[in-house]
């Protein structure tokens, strides 16, 4: 699997191993950390380089790879606005090289990480996979282009692929696997409150019950299990070429996250209301019936469990050397 030393990837690695799969990781360790995955074979390759295709195909061959889970990608929305060409090379180019290596090594199936960012401004209460795809950022567009590429490769080369559209991933499966990057709501708030700062809410004038934005937060362990279930479904000859939402199907507002986080941490999370962040849709919540039906997966952990695990991991800090 690619990106296996990252926050989400390392959870997928553990879940695959507990399900009895053998795993080999490909990661350039630019944002990943090998200490998350001790003892797992790791091939250091920068997949955005066309030159990675040959050694990747060779590694697939040597390790007897039968399926790929492709997570390695850049995922900072703001950065993608600054560097759209680089994002395209990293995310779309990276996928193209992985698909090329798979073709060369005759590896037939792939689970690809996509994102709810492919939808853009959602008007439905629950967004289903066949909703309009109008990503608001270059990041979201690279993920959508990847979905298209996957489908085209399926037609041309017969590769069997499924795209998983992640909603808002948070939490940790073990204290040492926590998200150490301060870039999303939960980690931004944990960072602020443990430094004695008040959390910030980006606007409370949205057309929602409490005025703050609503999202669908899913536990990273549930997300990891969705990958294994999808892999099993591909191996069992299940329908391919689809995109599946991975969320809980439950909307939670920013103010609700702060309230529960305050209870869990025992710290004051009374927020400071600041201006809206550009490009934030009011509500993005997944319709989750397709993945439940096709892959027989649904999320188990609720918001409190997600936040409790995030807090436990935050307190333990980054992995020790
Ligand atoms: C969640 C909510 C903010 C910080 C993005 C990408 C998406 C995916 C996940 C990668 C929003 C609000 C946040 C803060 C706040 N990324 N907020 N105060 O924007 O839903 O999704 O990250 O795959 O593709 O678009 O996630 O965690 O940034 O924000 O009020 O200090 O929290 O406005 O409503 P988002 P987020």
Which of 139, 166, 206, 217 is the catalytic position? 139
CA nearest neighbour of 112 among 226, 258, 253, 252: 226
Contact indicator for 151, 112 with CB cutoff of 8 Å: no
- Give the model's pLDDT for residue 167: 98
Total number of domains constituting the chain: 1
Query: Is the residue at 115 inside a domain?
Result: yes
C-alpha radius of gyration, the chain, whole number: 19
The stretch 238-248 carries a mean pLDDT of 88
Alpha helices in 88-132 (DSSP H): 94-105
Query: Is the residue at 164 inside a domain?
Result: yes
84, pLDDT greater than 90: yes
Q: What is the CATH number of the domain that holds 152?
A: 3.40.50.720
pLDDT confidence band for 236 (50 / 70 / 90): confident
List, in sequence order, every residue forming a beta bridge with 228; answer none if it has no partner. Answer: none
Residue 184 CA to ligand 1 center (angstroms) comes to 5
- Give the model's pLDDT for residue 184: 96
Give the pLDDT confidence of 266-296 residue by residue, as tens digits: 999 999 999 999 889 999 999 999 999 999 9
- Give the model's pLDDT for residue 238: 77
Atom of ligand 1 nearest to the CA of 201: 30
**Alpha carbons 179 and 173: distance in angstroms, whole number:** 10
pLDDT confidence band for 314 (50 / 70 / 90): very high
Atom of ligand 1 nearest to the CA of 139: 24
Query: Is the residue at 192 inside a domain?
Result: no
User: Which residues have C-beta within 8 Å of that of residue 278, sequence separation ≥ 6?
Assistant: none
Atom of ligand 1 nearest to the CA of 203: 30
Query: Is the residue at 127 inside a domain?
Result: yes
- Read off the tokens for 158: 């017969």
Collapsing DSSP to helix, strand or coil, 42 comes out as strand
CA nearest neighbour of 205 among 168, 167, 251, 254: 254
| Distance in Å from the first CA to the final CA of the chain | 24
The stretch 224-244 carries a mean pLDDT of 90
Give the pLDDT confidence of 26-44 residue by residue, as tens digits: 999 999 999 999 999 999 9
**Alpha carbons 318 and 321: distance in angstroms, whole number:** 9
| Nearest CA owner, ligand 1 atom 33 | 202
| Nearest CA owner, ligand 1 atom 30 | 201
**Alpha carbons 215 and 232: distance in angstroms, whole number:** 28
Burial of 266 (0-12, 13-18, 19+ CB in 10 A): exposed
Query: Is the residue at 28 inside a domain?
Result: yes
**Alpha carbons 294 and 229: distance in angstroms, whole number:** 10
Residues of the chain with pLDDT > 70: what percent? 98
Give the pLDDT confidence of 99-148 residue by residue, as tens digits: 999 999 999 999 999 999 999 999 999 999 999 999 999 999 999 999 99
Ligand 1 pocket residue status of 280, Cβ below 6 Å:
yes
20, pLDDT greater than 70: yes
253, pLDDT greater than 60: yes
318, pLDDT greater than 80: no
Residue 107 CA to ligand 1 center (angstroms) comes to 35
**Alpha carbons 102 and 96: distance in angstroms, whole number:** 10
Ligand 1 pocket residue status of 200, Cβ below 6 Å:
yes
319, pLDDT greater than 80: no
Mean pLDDT score across all residues of the chain: 96
Query: Is the residue at 91 inside a domain?
Result: yes
Which string of DSSP letters, residue by residue, matches 144-184? Answer: HHHHHHHHHHHHHH--EEEEEEE-EEE--SSGGG------S
Query: Is the residue at 210 inside a domain?
Result: no
Query: Is the residue at 43 inside a domain?
Result: yes
| Nearest CA owner, ligand 1 atom 26 | 184
The stretch 160-187 carries a mean pLDDT of 96
pLDDT confidence band for 321 (50 / 70 / 90): very low
Residue 280 CA to ligand 1 center (angstroms) comes to 8
Residue 78 belongs to what domain range? 7-170+216-247
Alpha-carbon torsion angle 315, 309, 12, 298, nearest 10: -170
- Give the model's pLDDT for residue 5: 97
DSSP 127: B
| Nearest CA owner, ligand 1 atom 29 | 185
| Nearest CA owner, ligand 1 atom 32 | 185
Is 139 among the residues known to form the active site?
A: yes
Give the pLDDT confidence of 86-113 residue by residue, as tens digits: 999 999 999 999 999 999 999 999 999 9
């Amino acid at each position: 699997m690619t990106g296996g030393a990252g926050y989400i990837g390392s959870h997928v690695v553990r879940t695959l191993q507990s399900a009895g799969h053998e795993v080999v990781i490909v990661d350039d360790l630019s944002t990943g950390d090998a200490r998350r995955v001790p003892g797992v074979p790791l091939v250091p390759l920068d997949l955005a380089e066309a030159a990675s295709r040959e050694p990747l195909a060779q590694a697939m061959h040597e390790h007897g790879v039968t399926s790929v889970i492709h997570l390695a990608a850049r995922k900072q929305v703001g950065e993608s606005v600054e560097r759209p060409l680089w994002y395209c090379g990293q995310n779309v180019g990276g996928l193209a090289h992985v698909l090329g290596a798979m073709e060369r090594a005759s590896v037939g199936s792939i689970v690809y990480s996509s994102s709810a960012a492919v939808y853009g401004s959602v008007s439905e209460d629950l967004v289903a996979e066949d909703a309009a795809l109008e990503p608001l950022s270059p990041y979201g567009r690279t993920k959508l282009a990847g979905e298209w590429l996957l489908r085209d490769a399926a037609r041309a080369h017969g590769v069997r692929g499924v795209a998983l559209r992640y909603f808002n991933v948070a939490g940790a499966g073990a204290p040492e696997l926590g998200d150490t990057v301060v870039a999303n709501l939960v980690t931004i708030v944990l960072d602020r409150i443990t430094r004695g700062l008040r959390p910030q809410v980006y606007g409370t004038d949205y057309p929602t019950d409490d005025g703050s934005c609503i999202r669908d937060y899913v536990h990273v362990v549930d997300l990891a299990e969705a990958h294994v279930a999808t892999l099993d479904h591909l191996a069992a000859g299940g329908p391919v070429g689809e995109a599946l939402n991975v969320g809980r199907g439950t909307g939670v507002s920013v103010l609700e996250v702060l309230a529960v986080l305050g209870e869990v941490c025992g710290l004051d999370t009374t927020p400071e209301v600041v201006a809206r962040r550009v490009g934030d849709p009011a509500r993005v919540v997944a319709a989750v019936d397709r993945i439940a039906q096709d892959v027989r997966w649904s999320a188990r952990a609720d918001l409190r469990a997600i936040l409790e695990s995030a807090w436990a991991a935050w307190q333990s800090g980054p992995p020790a050397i």
